Amino acid sequence: MFSKFDVIETIEMIEKEHLDIRTVTMGISLLPCIRATAGETSDAVYDRVMQKAERLVETAAELSSEYGIPIVNKRVSVTPVSLISAAFPSESGKIGAALDRAAKELGIDFLGGYSALVHKGTADYEKLFLSTIPEVLASTDRLCSSVNVGSSKSGINMDAVRTMGEIVLKTAQLTKDKDGLGCAKLVVFCNAVEDNPFMAGAFHGVGESDTVINVGVSGPGVVEHALKYIPDADLTDAAELIKRTAFKITRAGQLIAREAAKRLNARFGIVDLSLAPTPARGDSVAHILETLGLEVVGCHGTTAALAMLNDAVKKGGVMASSRVGGLSGAFIPVSEDIGMIESATAGQISIDKLEAMTCVCSVGLDMIAIPGDTPASTISAIIADEAAIGMVNNKTTAVRVIPAPGKKVGDEVSFGGLLGRAPVMPVHKGDASAFIRRGGLIPAPIHSFKN
Amino acid sequence: MRAVVTVTGSDKRGIIAKVSAFLFEHNINIEDVSQTILGDQFAMIMMVDMSESREAFASVAAALAQLGEKIGVTVRLQHADIFDAMHNV
């Protein structure tokens, strides 16, 4: 049983502190859609997604109304398209277009899975698939793409890293009229997870069952608010409070996930325990760190504060849910977090500090605008650094940078909505092209050999 | 099905009477009522049983919200499971 104070606490969390279910994501296997030609496969893909996710938006609205908690995004993730189009890779764009059309007709926010897994090597069909990404992202609206270039077990595919630097740059150039928006829909991963409900990196892994529901919870505002009540507590007590708060948030996610899976005739996949910010005030991970005592996110101490936050969120969340997965931790996207935007605009946080922060939280360099004239080799080098952090530390890392066409340090890019806005941040000028040109595979670290 | 009705806003005459009458008309049984102060606002929390109600949950919730607007307070109807899930281990 619960008390009247519990009822009021929940209502305050939802109405004043931005507690919401950030996303209900339906993972759909496309493996049964493979046909002899690109045209037939596209038709089968479209039909399957439309049929499986037909009631996704409606069901989310029902759940939101019954439980009184907002469900912000409704999304779909699919089997990496490079596997579905392997027999006709240069025509992969047809499948991308079919998926984008389905996403629009279903009324969902984003559909993820225009993806390839090339962490140990890039097959010929994957090379052709990768080359289609810029044009597909420029000609679609809701389709997201991700490429896994490394893993702790396999090492880092530096040929793919080199290619992805070029693809990120080309994607920005093809969407230059929208500040390089295409790059906001493209993530390069190391240790990508197969059940991530968050975009742009969601895809439905081949090890997953046919149709699953994965839910991402949110609530940085709830954690920030709770911490404001204990301004003088030591960090042990602060961690404990974050844990308790994460527990409550996750329980809401677990309830929605179970219920959504039941009503949509899908399996309950996982709850992703992430604290995902939005550009709205009161919904910021950066502000949690500042509430812990930092003058501004990015100053010395930020990495330690984030490490504590990330760990406490996981501990509270794991206790609350029978199935935990996805990225699970604190997100630090620059353009999607008002505290990050303000710190970056004031020059208080650098890419180097963000990179350090990615060593201790669940994601990577995310939604960072960099100068439009950044060479592809520098973007590849940024990807390589992040992938190395992920590979060595057995964690997921990602790069989602936007080389903003025609813009330089101090300018701003604006994508609107949840994608937010970001100042263009400086990158190091030193040339890494000779290193990137070497290609090959960075071998997996010795501690990955556990068998 | 158990649900929770919460009413928040500035206190005025007839809130309990009007909300209770609505619940009666919609075959919803009130099991428990409590009141408290939420910041500087009045808050009433009702545990209700909706097993006799024949209407869709969403339409009852919408009608209650409308009633709240008429009275000048916020009225919500939520499935009790959300509170159970968040506040019990």
Q: Where does A29-96 show beta strands of DSSP type E?
A: 71-78
Distance between start and end Cα atoms, chain A: 47
Q: What is the CATH number of the domain that holds A362?
A: 3.20.70.20
Number of domain units in chain A = 2
Residue B45 carries which DSSP code?
E
Same domain, A172 and A242: no
Same domain, A166 and A250: no
Sites in chain A below the pLDDT cut of 70: none
Q: Taking a C-beta distance cutoff of 8 angstroms, is the pair A379, A142 a contact?
A: no
Residue A443 carries which DSSP code?
P
Write the residue in B38, B43, B82 that is nearest to A69 by C-beta. Answer: B82
Same domain, A156 and A228: no
Report the distance separating Cα A212 and Cα A145, nearest Å.
20
| pLDDT given for residue B12 in this prediction | 84
- Sorted by where each starts, the structural domains of chain B and their CATH numbers stand as 2-87 (3.30.70.260)
SS3 B6: strand
Same domain, A128 and A235: no
Assess if residue A4 is contained within a domain. no
Give, in degrees to the nearest 5, the angle at Cα A41 between A35 and A45: 125
A204 touches B at CB < 8 Å:
no
Mutate to test the interface with B, among A1, A3, A4, A16 (most CBs of B within 10 A): A4
Report the distance separating Cα A211 and Cα B75, nearest Å.
37
The CA-based dihedral angle spanning residues A303, A391, A185, A327, taken in that order and rounded to the nearest 10 degrees: -60
Q: Which residues of B touch A255 (CB under 8 A)?
A: 81-82, 85
The amino acid that residue A293 corresponds to is G
Same domain, A163 and A242: no
Q: Which residues of A touch B4 (CB under 8 A)?
A: 7
| pLDDT given for residue A389 in this prediction | 98
Length of chain B: 89
Burial environment of residue A166 by CB neighbours within 10 A (0 to 12, 13 to 18, 19 or more): middle
| pLDDT given for residue A195 in this prediction | 96
Same domain, A156 and A225: no
Q: Taking a C-beta distance cutoff of 8 angstroms, is the pair A134, A168 a contact?
A: no
Distance between start and end Cα atoms, chain B: 21
Q: Taking a C-beta distance cutoff of 8 angstroms, is the pair A303, A248 a contact?
A: no
A240 touches B at CB < 8 Å:
no
Q: Where does B1-89 show beta strands of DSSP type E?
A: 2-9, 29-38, 41-49, 74-79
Per-residue pLDDT tens over the stretch B69-87: 999 999 999 999 999 999 9
Per-residue pLDDT tens over the stretch A311-348: 999 999 999 998 999 999 899 999 999 999 999 999 99
Mutate to test the interface with B, among A7, A58, A250 (most CBs of B within 10 A): A7
Same domain, A147 and A280: no
Percentage of chain A lying above the pLDDT 70 cut: 100
Same domain, A287 and A395: yes
Assess if residue A44 is contained within a domain. yes
Assess if residue A145 is contained within a domain. yes
B63 touches A at CB < 8 Å:
no
B84 touches A at CB < 8 Å:
yes
Query: B58 CA to chain A: closest CA distance, Å?
Result: 6
Beta bridge partners of A348: none
Q: Which residues of A touch B56 (CB under 8 A)?
A: none
Assess if residue A12 is contained within a domain. no
Instruction: Mark which residues 9-28 of B lie under 8 Å from A by CB.
Output: none
pLDDT by residue, tens only, chain B of 89 residues? 899 999 999 988 889 999 999 999 999 999 999 988 777 788 999 999 999 998 999 999 999 999 999 999 999 999 999 999 999 88
A66 touches B at CB < 8 Å:
yes
Nearest in space to A92 (alpha carbons), one of A30, A150, A47, A25: A30
Residues spanned by the domain of A229: 215-440
C-alpha count within 13 angstroms, C-beta hemisphere, residue A273:
30
